[in-house]
């Protein structure tokens, strides 16, 4: 099993290209089920989760093609996928695949909208909370679907197609919003989704659906209005840059010191996190070609942060911020309100010498003068990269085990960091 070895203490200087957003690429790939034409997606990241979803879609009958690289291109060039769901051959998404990635459950919306039926395993994914599917089921039932739970599968069907409805979520859910949106675009009549998630990735999917012929109003707001159409067409769409990858590398620069251009990043996607980094002592400079982050000389200042749905501070950057605050000059407080089990990285950060106390959803971090490298174990995607950030600043050598978690969400992480001066490499086997 692969490990990542880091010898800390090197500032980061240079350019890091930001990949396409995983959290947009996955639902965009799933949207290919809504049309029998070809959907072309540019700027798709090369990630384990993307490869797994290709398998899941392939089982359903989607032909996924990766055009040959252009002359002079390389594995580092942005990836283009051509997806054709001309003939859906199966409407079942099996347990052995869905259990490995939660987002694959979202196929239920397009399958139900286009085929009138779906049988999808209850999801799995990272162990960061229960994340039930009750809101997904609520939305589909509002659209007229009949839902049963049979032997660990959600079995959905509809007679005469889905019909537009009022859907008001009792709490914000990204996954439920994606599911309701993709189901509603082929429903008869008008659907209004209230208290919809406002994450940029949802807006990216909505913009792609509009290119495919969907009628959607209110993109970027908490109220989406969808007028169903009989069919969608093909389209070409570029995945927006990954704001979580952007924030992660920005925190790595803040942790180690240095000056890095995050090429292709869009500052407006990450205002809350950049404000926090500014409070912590980093300098954030939006530029035409990305976002420049630097911290030279000054120490890291403590902050108090509560995770919130967009446009608040993202839960997907909570672990990375905690790693940064282990070196702050003072006491920081991080409150996690999105997932109930997302502090599993705390015990691993303690192996570096970090001082962190937990009280329910609240973590208090007492900054220390130095961290010391240690062997650590990744527990989920975002926790694993927080250990990398700690290792970049720690004295001595750090070995991060179970890095397959990293491969789910970060493209070429070691190469991107090493080109900016980090002493980091992957040990295979």
Contact 256, 16 (CB under 8 A): no
Hey, where are the domains in the chain?
Answer: 3-18+241-427, 22-238
Any known ligand binding at 131?
yes
Enclosing H/E stretch for 392 = helix 381-393
Contacts (Cβ under 8 Å, ≥6 apart) of 153: 92, 95, 119, 120, 121, 122
Please identify which of the residues 126, 284, 321, 400 carries the catalytic annotation.
Answer: 126
Confidence of residue 70 (pLDDT cuts 50, 70, 90): low
Asked if the 3-18+241-427 domain carries CATH number 3.65.10.10, the reply is yes
Q: Is 159 annotated as a binding residue?
A: no
pLDDT band at 205 (very low <50, low <70, confident <90, very high): very high
Backbone CA torsion sign across 309, 310, 313, 319: positive
- Extract the tokens encoding 317: 């950057």
The CA angle 27-381-350, to the nearest 5 degrees, is 155
Residues 323-345 have pLDDT tens digits of 999 999 999 999 999 876 678 89
Mean pLDDT, the chain, integer: 94
46 carries a ligand binding annotation: no
- Per residue in 353-401, pLDDT (tens digit) is 999 999 999 999 999 999 999 999 988 877 789 999 999 999 999 999 9
Instruction: Determine if residue 172 is labeled as part of a ligand binding site.
Output: yes
Is residue 135 part of an annotated ligand binding site?
Answer: yes
Provide, rounded to the nearest whole percent, the portion of the chain with pLDDT above 90. 86
Instruction: Considering only the C-alpha atoms of the chain, give the largest distance between any 2 of them, rounded to a whole number of Å.
Output: 66
Q: Given this model, what pLDDT does residue 372 score? A: 98
Question: Does the structure show a pLDDT above 80 at 267?
Answer: yes
pLDDT of residue 137: 95
- pTM for this model (two decimals): 0.95
420 is annotated as an active-site residue: no
Structure tokens at 15: 């350019």
* Inter-helix orientation angle 22-30/174-184, to 10°: 30
| Tens-place pLDDT, residues 272-308 | 999 999 999 999 999 999 999 999 878 999 999 999 9
Q: Judge whether 99 is annotated as a binding position.
A: no
Task: Answer yes or no: is 372 a known binding residue.
Answer: no
| Fold that domain 22-238 belongs to in CATH | UDP-n-acetylglucosamine1-carboxyvinyl-transferase; Chain (3.65.10)
């Amino acid at each position: 099993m692969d490990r990542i070895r880091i010898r800390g203490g090197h500032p980061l200087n240079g350019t890091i290209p930001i990949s396409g957003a995983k959290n947009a690429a996955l639902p965009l790939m799933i949207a290919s089920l809504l049309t029998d034409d070809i959907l072309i997606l540019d700027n798709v990241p090369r990630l384990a989760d993307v490869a797994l979803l290709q398998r899941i879609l392939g089982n359903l009958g989607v032909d996924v093609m990766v055009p040959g690289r252009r002359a002079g291109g390389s594995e580092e060039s942005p990836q283009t996928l051509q997806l054709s769901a001309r003939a859906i051959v199966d409407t079942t998404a099996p347990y052995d695949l869905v259990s490995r990635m939660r987002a694959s459950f979202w196929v239920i919306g397009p399958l139900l909208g286009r085929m009138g039926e779906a049988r999808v395993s209850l999801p799995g994914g990272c162990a960061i909370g229960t994340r039930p599917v009750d809101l997904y089921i609520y939305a589909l039932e509002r659209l007229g679907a009949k839902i049963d739970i049979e032997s660990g599968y959600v079995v959905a069907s509809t007679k005469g197609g889905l019909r537009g409805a009022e859907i008001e979520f009792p709490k914000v859910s990204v996954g439920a919003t994606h599911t309701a949106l993709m189901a509603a675009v082929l429903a008869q009549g008008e659907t209004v989704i209230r208290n919809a998630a406002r994450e940029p990735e949802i807006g990216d999917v909505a913009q792609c659906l509009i290119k495919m012929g969907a009628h959607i109003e209110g993109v970027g707001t908490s109220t989406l209005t969808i007028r169903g159409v009989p069919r969608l067409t093909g389209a070409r769409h570029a995945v927006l840059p990954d704001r979580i990858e952007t924030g992660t590398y920005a925190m790595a620069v803040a942790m180690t010191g240095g000056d890095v251009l995050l090429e292709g990043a869009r500052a407006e996607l990450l205002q809350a996190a950049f404000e926090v980094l500014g409070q912590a002592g980093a300098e954030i400079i939006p530029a035409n070609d990305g976002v420049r982050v630097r911290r030279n000389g000054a120490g890291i200042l403590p902050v108090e942060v509560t995770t919130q749905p967009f446009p608040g501070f993202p839960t997907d950057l909570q672990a990375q911020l905690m790693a940064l605050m282990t070196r702050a000059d003072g006491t920081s407080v991080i409150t996690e309100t999105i997932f109930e089990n997302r502090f599993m990285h705390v015990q691993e950060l303690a192996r570096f010498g970090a001082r962190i106390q937990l009280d329910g959803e609240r973590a208090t971090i007492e900054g220390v003068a130095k961290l010391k490298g240690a062997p650590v174990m990744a527990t989920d995607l975002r926790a694993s990269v927080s250990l990398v950030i700690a290792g970049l600043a720690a004295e001595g050598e750090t070995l991060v085990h179970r890095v397959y978690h990293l491969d789910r969400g970060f493209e070429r992480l070691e190469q991107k960091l090493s080109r900016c001066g980090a002493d980091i490499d992957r040990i295979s086997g």
